[in-house]
Amino acid sequence: MKPSHTLFAMSLMLSSVAFAGSELDSLLGVLKANGTIDEAQYQRLIAEQASSKSELAEASLPRSTADASSGLKIVSANKQFSAQLGGRVEVHGAVYNDDGINMGDGTTLRRARIYVKGKLYDDWQYKFEYDFAASDLKGVKDAYLSYRLKEGTELIAGNYRVPYSLEALASSHANTFMERSLGFAFKPGWHLGAGANLSGANWTWNTGVFGDTADQNTAGEDGEWIVGSRLTWLPYQANSSLVHLGIAGLYGDRGDHSDMTYKSGPESKVTKINLVDTKKITGVDSYSQTGLEAALTLNRFNLQAEYMAATLRRGEGDLNFDGWYIQSSYFLTADSRSYKKGRYAPVKPRSILGRNGIGAWELAVRLSEVDLSDADIFGGQQQDLTLGLNVYATPQIRFSAEYIEVLATSNPKTAEPELFQLRAEWVL
């Protein structure tokens, strides 16, 4: 074989086949010794072999990418495995016109969360999130494992939110206001449980059976259990416009934990004062809650409302409480709220503040009410009016300013304060 032909054949082998390094080195050494290739050709082929081995090794390793829009994410070469690290920090500050009660001006670290989430073998997904602004097991938020049976059908188990309320299920980074409405007094929150999440092109159905919260001590006692379900439907969706309808319900058996409490502050978490509070309601055997949801998004404009009701069953007679809110917002910039699978998602501004843009600017107003008085329980009735301004500097950074006036409280131990509060938020 001619030397030129030999070189051509060797180059083809180096570019298409992965040889063991020692075997190929020996072959090249023999060809050099018998004069088939000279020293220069030998050195070039050795260099090509080393380059080929490096490329093959690199292709077989996981790919690691750092993306400021979604945290640090590591993805395997076959895309079946991933791990994403992220977090959230929120700082709130508030000034209160107490109207006769000492609510306490100040600042607070509202949230300081870190999470890791990803997938295993493509169909398994996991997430663990901890909030350092809480303490001990109260800081454990999402901590679950899920399995995708098929597109639109997912089984889930672990610590996650009971499916109830459009506002309660959405991330705080996605909700329009700094705090959720007065009706959030009925939130079931995170519980240990298992269920199924189903979805189609214009509907979702989330259902599950749940036990106690992660921090609940049930030693020697029967724990609580809850059955919860939520159904949403989009009768209309086109471009940046949609109509959302939803209904949710849950039934809870208190087990040996027969005490329950509903309470709410002035839609501000800097103060620890509750303006309405049922205190401890004893002898509760079971309870049920219902929720109705409706939302309309027309490009820059958004309208959203919910009604929530709770019934507590006890030997002395049933108790009925309820709450509602209606809110509206409008973007001064060419932006709109995002929506995904039955809930609103974080706003992604069309421009970035500081990079030849001004971000997204949103004006908002909300009226909310809660009634926690019935029969022999005098928890009080409260109504709030909130005016807000949101500046979404980037998809990860948001600043908010709100004025809240407590329009009415029927609890004689509290007054009708007003307040001004600010938020700075960073999410990764």
Spell out the per-residue pLDDT of the chain, length 428, in tens.
444 554 444 454 444 444 445 566 676 676 677 777 777 777 776 777 666 655 555 545 545 554 556 678 888 888 889 999 999 999 999 999 977 788 889 999 999 999 999 999 989 999 999 999 998 899 999 999 999 999 999 999 999 999 999 999 999 999 999 999 999 999 999 999 999 999 999 999 999 999 999 988 767 788 899 999 999 999 999 989 999 999 999 999 998 888 999 999 999 999 999 999 999 999 999 999 999 999 999 999 999 999 999 999 998 899 999 999 999 999 999 999 999 999 999 999 999 999 889 999 999 999 999 999 999 999 999 999 999 999 999 999 999 999 999 998 875 556 688 999 999 999 98
- Quote the CA–CA distance of 76 and 265 in Å, as a whole number: 47
What's the token pair of residue 352? 């970035």
Per-residue model confidence (pLDDT) at position 23: 63
Per-residue model confidence (pLDDT) at position 408: 84
154, 299, 323, 330 from 422: Cα distances, Å: 38, 26, 25, 19
What's the token pair of residue 293? 């949801």
Q: Give Cα 81 distance to the centre of its chain.
A: 21
- Quote the CA–CA distance of 54 and 178 in Å, as a whole number: 51
Give the predicted TM-score (pTM) of the model.
0.82
- Quote the CA–CA distance of 215 and 137 in Å, as a whole number: 5
What does residue 239 show for φ and ψ, rounded to 5 degrees?
55, -120
Place of tokens 């609510």: 103
Burial 142-151 (b: 16+ CB within 10 A, else e): bbbebebeee
Per-residue model confidence (pLDDT) at position 412: 57
- Quote the CA–CA distance of 220 and 125 in Å, as a whole number: 34
User: In which element (H, E) is residue 30 found?
Assistant: helix 21-33
What's the token pair of residue 310? 């709770």
Place of tokens 């029967």: 222
Task: Return the sign of the alpha-carbon dihedral for residues 15, 19, 20, 23.
Answer: negative
What's the token pair of residue 2? 């001619």
Report yes or no: 319 and 326 within 8 Å, Cβ to Cβ.
Answer: no
Per-residue model confidence (pLDDT) at position 376: 94
Burial 389-423 (b: 16+ CB within 10 A, else e): ebbbbbbbbbebebebebeebebeebebbbbbbbb
Report yes or no: 272 and 241 within 8 Å, Cβ to Cβ.
Answer: no
Inter-residue long-range contacts of 218-224, CB under 8 Å, 24+ positions, other chains counted:
218/255, 218/256, 218/257, 221/255, 221/256, 221/257, 222/255, 222/256, 223/255, 223/256, 223/257, 224/252, 224/253, 224/254, 224/255, 224/257
End-to-end CA distance of the chain: 62
Report yes or no: 373 and 319 within 8 Å, Cβ to Cβ.
Answer: no
Per-residue model confidence (pLDDT) at position 1: 46
Inter-residue long-range contacts of 37-44, CB under 8 Å, 24+ positions, other chains counted:
37/3, 37/6, 37/7, 38/3, 41/3, 41/7
Longest distance between any two alpha carbons in the chain, whole Å = 105
- Quote the CA–CA distance of 237 and 323 in Å, as a whole number: 28
- Quote the CA–CA distance of 52 and 46 in Å, as a whole number: 10
Report yes or no: 306 and 291 within 8 Å, Cβ to Cβ.
Answer: yes
Would you kindly state where each structural domain of the chain is located, as residue ranges? 3-60, 63-427
Question: Domain 63-427 class?
Answer: mainly beta
User: CA angle 260-195-171, nearest 5°?
Assistant: 70
Per-residue model confidence (pLDDT) at position 243: 98
265, 312, 321, 408 from 411: Cα distances, Å: 12, 21, 15, 9
List CB contacts of 287: < 8 A, sequence separation 6 or more.
Answer: 251, 252, 254, 260, 310, 311, 312, 313
40, 276, 304, 380 from 34: Cα distances, Å: 15, 96, 84, 100
